[in-house]
Amino acid sequence: MKNNILKTGFIVILAMTIASFTTASEKSVNVKDSSITWKGHKVTGSHEGTINLLEGSLIFDGENLTAGQFTIDMTSIIVTDLEAGSGKEKLEGHLKSDDFFGVNNHKKAMFKINSVNGKNGTYRVYGDLTIKGITKPATFQMMIKGNTATASFKIDRTKYNIKYGSSSFFDNLKDKAIYDDFDLNVTLKF
């Protein structure tokens, strides 16, 4: 009986010791201090703007990123390279329309990190991006330093059924063509 109590005590102490070395933690993203900027390109130039993060979290095992998930407010799309009255409102409305992101029916976009390769602040992130209810795999480089994560990557909008002005789907667009890829630059504070 005494040996069983000692063995049980030893196992409990061993389990607690191992658990104390496992430092997995979830860190919520501070959405007010985080930013997402976008840039879309067309034959005759480009437009850029911002979009808001609704919520997000990153999961770490010790210092190393292991997972995470994010929700983006698609209704918050803003154009920053045009002034009010010079087409800004028209372009914002068009981006929110069914030609592009269809925000009346798809108010949120989501990204879920499925796996991560790397360590010491430099990671290759593999996950699923959902836009307009369509989920596709997405992969990009993420850098983490202190309480800040940054990533810059391209998204092919046509994979999410956003084909407006795409020369991949429409002929004779000439200088009206809009490139399929758009850029996202993400800065997350946690």
Averaged pLDDT, 88-101:
98
Amino acid residing at 61: D
pLDDT, one tens digit per residue, over 28-63 is 999 999 999 999 999 999 999 999 999 999 999 999
Q: Alpha carbon 54 to chain centroid distance?
A: 11
- How much is the pLDDT for 23? 73
Cα distances (angstroms) measured from residue 137 to each of 53, 100, 156: 20, 20, 11
pLDDT at 18 over 90: no
- How much is the pLDDT for 24? 87
Q: Are 30 and 190 spatial neighbours (Cβ–Cβ below 8 Å)?
A: yes
- How much is the pLDDT for 4? 56
Judged by DSSP in three states, 87 sits in coil
Nearest to 111 by CA among 70, 76, 75: 70
Cα distances (angstroms) measured from residue 28 to each of 25, 32, 149: 10, 12, 12
- How much is the pLDDT for 12? 44
This prediction has a pTM of: 0.85
Annotation: CATH topology of 23-189? Lipocalin (2.40.128)
pLDDT at 17 over 80: no
57 CB neighbour count, 10 Å cutoff: 15
Domain map of the chain by residue range? 23-189
pLDDT at 144 over 50: yes
Averaged pLDDT, 125-149:
98
Q: Show Cβ contacts of residue 178 under 8 Å, excluding neighbours closer than 6 positions.
A: 40, 41, 42, 43, 164, 165, 166
pLDDT at 16 over 60: no
Nearest to 186 by CA among 92, 107, 89, 68: 68
C-alpha 122/C-alpha 100 separation (Å) is 33
DSSP element (H, E) containing 95: helix 88-96
- How much is the pLDDT for 15? 45
pLDDT > 90 fraction of the chain, expressed in percent and rounded: 85
